[in-house]
Structure 1
Amino acid sequence: MSLRLEIDGAVAHLLIDRADKRNAFTMAMWEALPGLLAQAEAAEGIRLLVLRAAEEGAFCAGADIRELLANKDDAAWRSANQQAINRVQHELARFALPTLAFVDGDCIGGGCGLALACDMRVATPRARFGITPAKLGLVYPLHDVKLLVDLVGPGQAKRMLFTGTLLDAAEAHRIGLVEVLADDPQAEVAALLAASPHSVREIKRIVRRVLDGQVADDDATRAIFAEAFTLGDFAEGTAAFTEKRKPEFGG
């Protein structure tokens, strides 16, 4: 199986498991991923999704070029492939729980798109990032371009897209493509799990509203703000603060 879901306590690990092909994505993998996201969201007690390679060496080298070349003259296949990729990116970017991409090794093209669609990116010093359609005469999807621009700004986005330059981990961190440099994601996982699940979920929804163009509160966001004061996480958080202990949130 080229993709699989493993549950470890409150963390769902979505593993890319095609190391012999540098974890390049096939059509079947794009089609399978939404179902795995649905399984993770439905699993009881899950508070975080980590997207990572099953083995060291490469996070994801992008689309399977051999499969792409084999189907390049099949308009129906190309359309279905585009729809499958767009669905994955849209659903991953709007997944209900927080998502973290742990990148070790190459993160190229569509693989970089997967990392962009996550909420946070932790990269090892061995990671490299590149978006290379311009080297193949292709065009990156608008949704993924927006994810990139939202992270690094239009200038750095154009630099990456126009040239297909591979950025090392330090450079990716400098321009804001990566939030954390570390050999493993455990510190960030622990920090996310220590926060109020309710707060994280609702803040994620509000950030998505901002990224999608909302600039002022509406009735829905005001209701989200007000409701938090009535819930158990607020009671636990304030009690822990006054008692000088770590909170134990139920979410």
Structure 2
Amino acid sequence: MTDHLHLEISGGIARLGIARPAKRNAMNQAMWKAFPQLVDAAMADPSVRVLLVGSHSGPFCAGADIGEFAESSGDPDWRARNQAAIRATQVTLARAPKPTVAVIDGDAVGGGCGIALACDVRIVSPRARMGITPAKLGLVYPLHDTRLLVDLVGASQAKRLLFSGMLVGAAEALRIGLVQEVAEDLEAAVATFSAAIVAASPASQVASKAIVQRIIEGVIDDDAESSAGFDAAFTGGDFHEGVSAFLGKRKPVFG
């Protein structure tokens, strides 16, 4: 593990904070290796309903540690380990079964932007800036992460960001679909959204997220798996609680 990542769980909400302010929260290889383990720990906790990914202190994340790149990138074994660690972080976060939210105040650049892309939703402050900058370093962004970008903003906007390495502010990020909300009071907005998630049906959320992922992967119509999921919901505890609460004119309390 690493001292630069912190996982805290309270009230159904897990918070994974990046804490390396002296390096603007740049991710070194040890942090990339530790990140998916913390995501998995949050997902495995039955009390957790949503994972918030943000900065423990300082900006969201300045990306990969370029100093470490300069020192170690000549070693093919190091490059292979680094690529595997970064991919594990991105894939684990993107495929996490429960809702995930990137909370962005300040810069989310390069690999930091990649972490945000792998979350389900991105809520940012007006101070946020986002960019994917391999073109400024002669690097190539991984296909998995590029696909996440294209899924969000479309091919043309993705090319615009990748070709230029430009940083976009919060308003522009919202306009092109890179983020879903810009909030002056970031903590209040995140708390409101988190509370809505915690109050809703976890069974519905997990199933809906899985369905969206299948659509992203190219499934275009219902099949045996989706039909079975639709039917099974009617026998689930969340359905019975939701209907009972609706008929009783009260708020549901899901398990």
Deviates more, 1:125-134 or 1:216-225: 216-225
CA separation in 2, counterparts of 1:248 and 1:34? 31
After superposition, give the CA deviation of every residue in 1:126-158 in whole Å (9 maximum; x if it has no partner). Answer: 100000000111110000000000001001111
Correspondent of 1:246 among 221, 226, 251: 251
Deviates more, 1:164-173 or 1:35-44: 35-44
**Counterpart residue type for residue 240 of structure 1:** A
CA separation in 2, counterparts of 1:239 and 1:72? 59
CA apart distance, 1:242:
2.1
User: Which structure 2 residues correspond to residues 1-251 of structure 1 after superposition, within 5 A?
Assistant: 1-55=3-57, 57-182=58-183, 183-184=186-187, 185-250=190-255
Normalized against structure 1, the TM-score is what?
0.97
**Counterpart residue type for residue 150 of structure 2:** V
Deviates more, 1:238-247 or 1:7-16: 238-247
Matched-pair contact (CA < 8 Å) for 2:40–2:92: no
**Counterpart residue type for residue 94 of structure 1:** R
Identity %: 55
4+ runs deviating over 6 angstroms: none
CA separation in 2, counterparts of 1:244 and 1:179? 31
After superposition, give the CA deviation of every residue in 1:24-62 in whole Å (9 maximum; x if it has no partner). Answer: 00000011112111211222311111101002x310000
**Counterpart residue type for residue 50 of structure 2:** L
CA apart distance, 1:245:
2.0
SS at match of 2:14: strand
CA separation in 2, counterparts of 1:42 and 1:191? 21
SS at match of 1:59: coil
Aligned length: 249
CA apart distance, 1:164:
0.8
CA separation in 1, counterparts of 2:15 and 2:104? 13
SS at match of 1:7: strand
Query: Aligned-pair RMSD on alpha carbons?
Result: 0.9
**Counterpart residue type for residue 211 of structure 1:** I
CA separation in 1, counterparts of 2:147 and 2:53? 20
CA separation in 2, counterparts of 1:37 and 1:78? 23
CA separation in 2, counterparts of 1:133 and 1:187? 35
After superposition, give the CA deviation of every residue in 1:52-91 in whole Å (9 maximum; x if it has no partner). Answer: 1002x31000000000000121111011101111111111
**Counterpart residue type for residue 9 of structure 1:** G
**Counterpart residue type for residue 44 of structure 2:** A
